[in-house]
Structure 1
Amino acid sequence: MPGLVRKLLIFAAVDGLVLQPLAQRGQRPAPATKIAYEDNNIEYVWKDGGEGYKAGKSFEAFGIVGLLTVSKYSFLISITRREQVAQIQGKPIYVVTEVALTPLSSRNAAESSILQTQAGLQKAGAGGDATDDSDTDGDEADNSAALSDDIDDEDIHPATSTSGSISGEGLREHRRTSSVAEDVISRKGGYGPFAQKWFSKKGWTVGQRRNLGMSLTEPDNTTSRSDQTGESRRQPSPIIKPLEKDDEEQKNINDVAERLLPKLLRTTQILFGTSQSFFFSYDYDITRSIATRRTTNSELPLYTEVDPLFFWNRHLIQPFIDAGQTSLVLPLMQGFVGQRWFEMDTNPPKPAIGLTGDENTAMEMTDLSVGDKDQDHADAGESDSPNGQKSGDGRSTKRPFLLTLISRRSIKRAGLRYLRRGVDEEGHTANGVETEQILSEPSWAPSSKIHSFVQLRGSVPIFFSQSPYSFKPVPQIQHSAETNFRAFKKHFDNISDRYGSVQVVSLVEKHGPESIVGDAYEKNMDRLNLERASSGDSIGFEWFDFHSICRGMKFENVSLLMDAIGSKLDKFGDTVELEGQQLSRQSGVLRTNCMDCLDRTNVVQSACARRALEMQLKAEGIDFCLQADQSTQWFNTLWADNGDAISKQYASTAALKGDFTRTRKRDYKGALTDMGLSISRFYSGIVNDYFSQAAIDFLLGNVTSLVWEDFEANLMSGDPAVSMQKLRQQAIDVSQKLVVADEHEEFIGGWTLLAPHIPNTIKSTPFEEAVLLLTDTALYATRFDWNMEKVISFERVDLGHVVSLKYGAYITSTLSAAQADEKRNVGFIITYKAGTDDVTRVNTRSMSTVPFPEEGGPQRDASASPPAKGLVGLIGRQQSPPADRILAWKALPSRSAVTNGQDAPSLSEIETVKTICCEIERVVLLGRSEKKSIVEAGSIISQEEARKSTGLLEHLGHSLKKMVWA
């Protein structure tokens, strides 16, 4: 909007950074804001801008992405470059092309980083590739940088802006002036001291050194006496929650996060900057479609009106919202925004009639691209086409139109291919994208109509996974049928609430590996429609085997699908707006999916969008089929760019089958290109995606800093699709009902714990999560299939046979600090003498029997009693008492990186183990006359023993994975 300040000025001053806030819609710019630093907390104070600030140490930014806080360090993410890709109703839409990460942990680090950013921007400007406010063609935006690009820890450090490349000389220069960079690069996380009171005129002080076995910078001798005593420390800011006093456990978490900090900063810069996948507007809500946007003039901040489902930087910008600095809150949307200008002839030439009397309708539409020149012509209502028709008074019959395409990626179940598949517990699917196609006049005149057509794409809404270590991985269905149906139902309830009626098009194969999820999709849909039959709002389901029907690269056969669902799409209609008032609203939505919801999906969605465009033009009095030029290259390119953008955000490469989307032709060159892209996707899936997925979850606020500890130990992060707390309780309930045969047994308690892969051992990897049940007469060690939510087998031990319990350190690996921590890796073993009342049963899902895996274990007994409550298979009874046997258990981690539900108090690992041992002992001693304790403390596997047993190959393998993935 003219006259409003849209830029954000960042200064390094003696007393902090100064931010010129973005103007509110229809208001004057607010005063500048001072950001001061006090014990790594940020304090915002309103102040007149420009007073007493240093000149020269500044750079121009176009908005704030948010505040990234890792351990004790914070970074301001600001937009330093942008490109205009579209304009909607006179409001410009921008894509972020570069961001800067400014460290806020010290004044020196901030000033140095700002100077680096300033130099990089000046260099880019001198080179002629700096971005200004002028409009640019969205087609020219370079989307080649994917999130999963190779990342080198040496490329970035906390005290250096990531807005540009840094030469080796510049890096060395910065290392000499910044202890942050020196420690991150050279010492891999052993950060040097930082001032506790940044703006004390008496000098600087140092932070408390951590005993990590690394040399740290000596304390500054200029520290004031009052600073040393802490008497003059100011109150913490409410914006960032102050860190509590570090204990040893918290230090370990911080140290791991700091070691991975350079990689996280680089990933953040790629995600928000060079990937060119984030879009924003200062005064237009691009997160809502024409049908759902708020048309009333509002003085509320834009972030309060955007759709939270597409508000990607909500977590990062939350500190500014909490501080009331709404003028600095700029919502970002990930996805795609593109725009094309084209012309249609309102008085096309009459079709030629041959000798046979048949009309030749093979016409083509004019191919024009967006540009300033074209825009000027559009505003003037002129045409520069030499072949344009003339009306009776000599005016051109060409009518200009503007086609806008907006794809909005959901923040729910966000992430990368293979690491985020299927559905989560709340019904949100991976790669969920809403795509809106808007037809309008270039001038957006109030008297002209605006047409909007919305489609959806998203993963198959069931729980399934696929291994990234294969070009054609076989899907694995996870969890029980009931768990899947609950999430399936929630998914379509969510869609129905948002869009009305639903038509599903599934493009997966009907035969082969993909049919596993296709069949599950169809079965759940039949069940859901049976439930909905009474209300009459059943969901249309069309299974179109794309690969089979379009075999031989005959993608034009998609027209068969259009014939099948065309009537349903016509019934849904589209949204039409005139002078701010909705004349009609789209009553339903088409939901399309293949396996990745990328390549086949984009072909089908573009076909549906073209059909919708024809109907919209027909409503404007223009017959699409009579146009002289029907190549529609502008349309094809727009949709191909959309497909490439979504594919890069999910699979790190451009979309397959893009040549057909662009040219409507398919040949061997396109097939060879697709082969190369498939190889690139395979590489990204097994190399880069693991860390990138953890970073996405962290930036969205789905996980805490604990995710970095998990990543260092396992080199991957967990999937929070299902609440593990609920799933574990459900496993305990199922196990109790199935394996406790005697109804007279009193159930005391149940726990989920880790157990060695082979029974009667203490270290046989991989450890499995199992269920331990305790009744008043027996213990039940239950192996559980967590994917199918069924009991695999169980072993019953009579309490009278329990000899002893021992708890203590249980170290099974020393490959990471977390795995070698004796306070967090604890467990216990139950020693018992197996008797004739003890039994092991295996659920083979048949009446056949199998031998016991362990030598000397219970033997088969054909005369044994039948299985309990439907658990079929082997029944074993002890023929002769063997030597003492053990049940080994290791406590699960008491903390979870998943933010949801982490407020509930939980016992530590050692507290959990002690509680279980005491409870077992209590019940055991109830049946004995001698009340002598059977519980003792002592290491099961000490750290030293584990270190000796960890072989060289294990270390080499983990180091290799760490080098590749972290």
Structure 2
Amino acid sequence: MPGLVRKLLIFAAVDGLILQPLAQKGQRPASAAKISYNEQHSIAPVTKDEGEGEDSSKSFEAFGIVGLLTVSKSSFLISITRRQQVAIVQGKPIFAITEVALTPLASRAEADAAITHTQKSLQRKATDNNGLEDSDTEGEEEEVSTVSDDVEDDESHPAAVGPVTGEHKRSSSVAEDVMARKGGYGRFAKKWFSKKGWTADQRRNLGMTASESDDNPPKVTTAVATDGGNDISGASTTAGSSSKDRMDKDSAASLLPKLLRTTQILFGTSRSFYFSYDYDITRSLLNRQILNPELPLHTQVDPLFFWNMKIIQPFIDAGQSSFVMPLMQGFIGQQEFEMDTEPPKPIIGLDGPDQKSSMEMTDMSPSHKIPDPVEVPATDGSSDIPKFSDIPPSKSMKPYLITLISRRSVKRAGLRYLRRGVDDEGHTANSVETEQILSDPEWKPSSKVHSFVQIRGSIPVFFSQSPFSFKPVPQVQHSTETNYQAFVKHFENVSDRYGSVQVASLVERHGPEAIVGDKYEQLMTRLNESGGIKGSPVAFEWFDFHSACRGMKFENVSLLMDALGEKLDTFGYTVEQDGIQVSRQSGVLRTNCMDCLDRTNVVQNSFGKRALELQLKTEGIDLSLQQDQTAQWFNILWADNGDAISKQYASTAALKGDFTRTRKRDYKGALTDMGLSISRFYSGIVNDYFSQAAIDFLLGNVTSVVFEDFETSMMSRDPAVSMYKMRQQAIEACQKLVVADEHEEFIGGWTLLAPHMPNTIKSMPFEESVLLLTDSGLYSCRFDWNLEKVSSFERVSLEHIINIKYGTYITSTLSASQADEQRNVGFVVTYTAGANDITRVNTRSMSSLSRPSTDLPSSTSPSTSTSTSGLASLIQGTTSATTTNKVLALKALPSRDAAAEGHESRLSEVEQVKTICAEIERMVLHGQVVEVGTERRALVEGGDIISLAEARKSTGLLEQLGHSFKKLIWA
């Protein structure tokens, strides 16, 4: 990156903030870029040098810019206030973010107050910690590491040579934060346990831990600031009551404090984001590109792992590339170790000349006492065989450095149960690329650098699981053809990036997991029968991990290694020397279980160990002859990697972590896993819904409308699945299936909301249905969106339509968006049922069922209660003529979609309804004959269907309490 931006000095200016890049420590900045954030949400640089003479007491040093968070007309600068060096790669330091500050940009007063508060907080922490940066963990063993703690300057730092585990552990307990430090965190504790505060343990949210606590409780105001997120609102409240009133009316604004807390946890205290000033950590050696020093770093990184690309875009648009620093989420850890180039020779005879040497079976780790072997009498009667303890230590030790880098994809990113399977573009949930690098500790150019890449990702099938169960049954979604199209795209993406693919699926062959496992195998068989990818089949191995490793025998993973070893050997690994790629890995192992966390990490650990053995052999070193045969340092590094990825996806450390660390499994580990499973269950039903909406928003997948949707339902839909495409496909499917008469001319189709039961106006919940209009009939189709099949439909002859009424259609007043009269509109078609009007149900069998008209609730006025006839009353036959009037009630879908990219120009809800009513009226009147001199009667009229006042009266106390309870938990 030009200038190697090392620090940013941030302080208030009259119309914004001044950011000064410092080339080197202690040097005066050559120039300053004045960043003015205006009402148009654009950044304009000022060329002249400004900032001299500013009050340094109202400033703090930042190590980089994460980006700009803009929601509900409020903007916040996210800057890095604390960092921790975790590794050195190719001689370049790699940092983990440990704290961020959120500075409001609405006014100078707010920025001043926030910056001053952040500076004081950083100074207070520096004094309180006395250089010991939260190194103690209650109830956890303290681990020694030579990695420098939160860096305060730009001096060079040595490579990490100890176990890099502490950085990814909980740095302090809740008891310590709330009780032991109650003097400093009293107000935080009050907020934590108050009814209006976080009822959920947000410190575990997003799989991360907050190392500090809030000094002041958050206030719902635009003047929000963080000192690394510990205090969300230390700024002044000068925004005024008018600002507060506006925010109370805005769904996004009402959730703003929670969004800021979540943002701080995600980018700051999670310690899951990494950056480097002058090295591209987003690319493995397999796909490495030589950086062009003339171009900004952000233009050369891999966009698949560029996590802050959306929120840093304003700086890019303003031409301020020197402030743009790409962030990667995942894990980076390093460990230095030594190998003996001339290990002691195996002692033949201890176990017999034909038996394996005892040297290979004995733990020779320096941390363990080496036992003396049993002496074996010699043939001459003597017993002078040397003991192991008599073997002098070798002087031929050679140091090595192993680096583990896991990169989480920004595609289909999110949390367990809320992001499963695949999307339309072939991207899978929890997709992670893990690179294992073997190198010289000093990264000498002449030394070889070995790289081995593995990937993990969810099963590339559309499926879902409910979080409200410890063992949820997966449900396969969409048609086989839709699944196959996404399946093919996925493996095309993988093949383009890595070459050949070897799949290792670890799900169960029997039980609930087999539902998606079987689908996976079926689609793979179809893919390979059609020629595979680029003319080559995709190798598929189904290894039932739970069955093979039953009884905690996880060492049976060696069976999978035996099965795939030869194939992986053909893939090889990447080798680089003197900056030149000597060899390149030609394929990749793709591992998955259900969550791609626990079983996957055990298997990837095993294959990583195998790759390390092969790479060391090329260096002339046999790992099986080394004194340290346990390689516990290697297992700990992989266990830390598994914990980090698990926390980011499932909110807890990985299961089976005890085996990954020690290669042993006992009842203590099983009990630990049970506790982690309970914690995952809690996070899944409490924390994850809002966190998922926040992640989608920060990645730019959705707009702030997502928070409006969240306030309504306490959930948000998956923006990666194109609802526009699905709705168009549903209209086409309904047209082909339900319009039986080929002479009927198709006029148009729409997707709308319909009451749960037919012939009612309000029967909850409302369901998305398909309305078709032909030149002779109106079809209301109930569609199964998971299976992409028509479940039932009603046909109304146009000649039987009596009246169409459109207007306000409010079904709930629990949220502001639901009570908006301009956005909650619909229409009711009143008709007289006749012989040609039918309701038919798809039974997925040779016969379909028709509902007699006498079974439908009927009255002269539309019913507002739920029909009691249900589907149980269906019988075969045709409907008979009747003279009673019936209704077909439909409500417009929201025109404001949270998805960031729409596929069509959207009409407002009122415009949608008027357009549909006009089309129906046109076709009805087109077939009517009017006598001469008779005025044609208007079919469409305006009027409330359910007014706001009526909706408020019908909203019961239990319904209000239920929504309030949900909001208390989720929002």
TM-score tier, shorter chain, comes to 0.7 to 0.9
Amino acid at match of 2:243: Y
Matched, 1:139 2:165: yes
Matched, 1:682 2:677: no
Equivalent in the alignment of 2:309: 314
Matched, 1:943 2:969: no
Contact 2:749 2:772 in 1 (8 A): yes
**1:912 alignment partner, SS class:** helix
Contact 2:825 2:913 in 1 (8 A): yes
Matched, 1:712 2:711: yes
Q: Cα offset for 1:529?
A: 0.9
Equivalent in the alignment of 2:797: 798
Equivalent in the alignment of 1:651: 650
CA distance in 2, matches of 1:925, 1:608: 72
Q: CA-to-partner distance for each residue in 1:794-852, whole Å, 9 max, x for gaps?
A: 11111111111111111111100101111111111111111112222211012356674
Equivalent in the alignment of 2:53: 52
Amino acid at match of 2:624: C
Contact 2:414 2:430 in 1 (8 A): yes
Equivalent in the alignment of 1:68: 69
CA distance in 2, matches of 1:505, 1:529: 16
Contact 2:305 2:408 in 1 (8 A): yes
**1:757 alignment partner, SS class:** coil
Contact 1:116 1:160 in 2 (8 A): no
Equivalent in the alignment of 2:606: 607
Contact 1:423 1:721 in 2 (8 A): no
**Closer/same/farther in 2, CA of residues 263 and 433 from structure 1, 3 Å limit:** same
CA distance in 1, matches of 2:47, 2:3: 22
Q: Cα offset for 1:16?
A: 4.2
Contact 1:435 1:456 in 2 (8 A): yes
Equivalent in the alignment of 1:196: none
Q: CA RMSD in A?
A: 2.7
**Closer/same/farther in 2, CA of residues 150 and 450 from structure 1, 3 Å limit:** closer
Contact 2:838 2:851 in 1 (8 A): no
Equivalent in the alignment of 1:87: 88
Equivalent in the alignment of 2:779: 780
Amino acid at match of 1:74: S
Structure 2: unaligned runs, 5 residues or longer: 134-149, 171-202, 369-388, 859-873, 931-935
Query: What is the TM-score of this pair, normalised by structure 1?
Result: 0.86
Q: CA-to-partner distance for each residue in 1:301-335, whole Å, 9 max, x for gaps?
A: 11111000000000010000000000000000000
Equivalent in the alignment of 1:178: 237
**1:314 alignment partner, SS class:** coil
Q: Cα offset for 1:58?
A: 1.0
CA distance in 1, matches of 2:786, 2:390: 64
Contact 1:468 1:685 in 2 (8 A): yes
Amino acid at match of 1:161: A
Contact 1:569 1:590 in 2 (8 A): yes
Contact 1:453 1:609 in 2 (8 A): yes
Contact 2:332 2:403 in 1 (8 A): yes
Matched, 1:339 2:334: yes
**2:21 alignment partner, SS class:** coil
Q: CA-to-partner distance for each residue in 1:82-137, whole Å, 9 max, x for gaps?
A: 10000011100000000000111111111111111111111111122452255665
CA distance in 1, matches of 2:483, 2:2: 53
Q: How many residues align?
A: 862
Contact 2:100 2:227 in 1 (8 A): yes
**1:313 alignment partner, SS class:** coil
CA distance in 1, matches of 2:321, 2:228: 29
Once the two structures are overlaid, the 10-residue window that deviates more, 798-807 or 494-503, is: 798-807
Matched, 1:927 2:927: yes
CA distance in 2, matches of 1:156, 1:364: 58
Contact 1:363 1:627 in 2 (8 A): no
**1:420 alignment partner, SS class:** coil
CA distance in 1, matches of 2:284, 2:63: 25
Which of 960, 963, 967 aligns to 1:962? It is: 967
Report the identity percentage: 67
Equivalent in the alignment of 2:895: 894
Contact 2:2 2:322 in 1 (8 A): no
Q: Cα offset for 1:855?
A: 5.2
**Closer/same/farther in 2, CA of residues 935 and 580 from structure 1, 3 Å limit:** same
Contact 1:340 1:404 in 2 (8 A): yes
CA distance in 1, matches of 2:724, 2:39: 36
Amino acid at match of 1:141: E
Matched, 1:589 2:588: yes
Matched, 1:264 2:264: no
Equivalent in the alignment of 1:9: 9
Query: What is the TM-score of this pair, normalised by structure 2?
Result: 0.85
Q: Cα offset for 1:273?
A: 0.3
Q: CA-to-partner distance for each residue in 1:662-695, whole Å, 9 max, x for gaps?
A: 0000000000000000000000000010100000
CA distance in 2, matches of 1:920, 1:461: 42
**Closer/same/farther in 2, CA of residues 2 and 74 from structure 1, 3 Å limit:** closer
CA distance in 2, matches of 1:363, 1:810: 77
Instruction: Write out aligned runs for 1:256-295 (5 A).
Output: 256-295=251-290
CA distance in 2, matches of 1:445, 1:59: 37
Amino acid at match of 1:354: G
**2:57 alignment partner, SS class:** coil
**Closer/same/farther in 2, CA of residues 367 and 701 from structure 1, 3 Å limit:** farther
CA distance in 2, matches of 1:497, 1:794: 44
CA distance in 1, matches of 2:73, 2:291: 43
CA distance in 2, matches of 1:522, 1:806: 52
Equivalent in the alignment of 2:385: none
CA distance in 1, matches of 2:260, 2:291: 40
**Closer/same/farther in 2, CA of residues 423 and 504 from structure 1, 3 Å limit:** same
Contact 2:4 2:278 in 1 (8 A): no
Which of 312, 325, 344 aligns to 1:330? It is: 325
Q: Cα offset for 1:721?
A: 2.8
Equivalent in the alignment of 2:623: 624
**Closer/same/farther in 2, CA of residues 14 and 884 from structure 1, 3 Å limit:** closer
CA distance in 2, matches of 1:347, 1:389: 12
Amino acid at match of 1:910: V
Instruction: Write out aligned runs for 1:783-862 (5 A).
Output: 783-847=782-846, 852=851, 856-857=855-856
CA distance in 2, matches of 1:747, 1:527: 35
Once the two structures are overlaid, the 10-residue window that deviates more, 849-858 or 295-304, is: 849-858
**1:701 alignment partner, SS class:** coil
CA distance in 2, matches of 1:688, 1:256: 19
CA distance in 2, matches of 1:923, 1:727: 27
Which of 334, 337, 351 aligns to 2:346? It is: 351
CA distance in 2, matches of 1:165, 1:102: 10
CA distance in 2, matches of 1:911, 1:803: 22
Contact 1:22 1:63 in 2 (8 A): no
CA distance in 2, matches of 1:301, 1:534: 35
Q: Cα offset for 1:17?
A: 2.4
Q: Cα offset for 1:143?
A: 3.7
CA distance in 2, matches of 1:911, 1:490: 37
Equivalent in the alignment of 2:386: none
Equivalent in the alignment of 2:223: 159
Contact 1:405 1:436 in 2 (8 A): yes
Equivalent in the alignment of 1:729: 728
Contact 2:315 2:324 in 1 (8 A): yes
CA distance in 2, matches of 1:23, 1:922: 71
**Closer/same/farther in 2, CA of residues 837 and 17 from structure 1, 3 Å limit:** closer
Q: Cα offset for 1:780?
A: 1.1
CA distance in 2, matches of 1:342, 1:764: 67
Contact 1:831 1:886 in 2 (8 A): yes
Q: Cα offset for 1:35?
A: 2.5
CA distance in 2, matches of 1:2, 1:323: 16
**Closer/same/farther in 2, CA of residues 562 and 722 from structure 1, 3 Å limit:** same
**Closer/same/farther in 2, CA of residues 111 and 851 from structure 1, 3 Å limit:** same
Q: Cα offset for 1:36?
A: 3.4
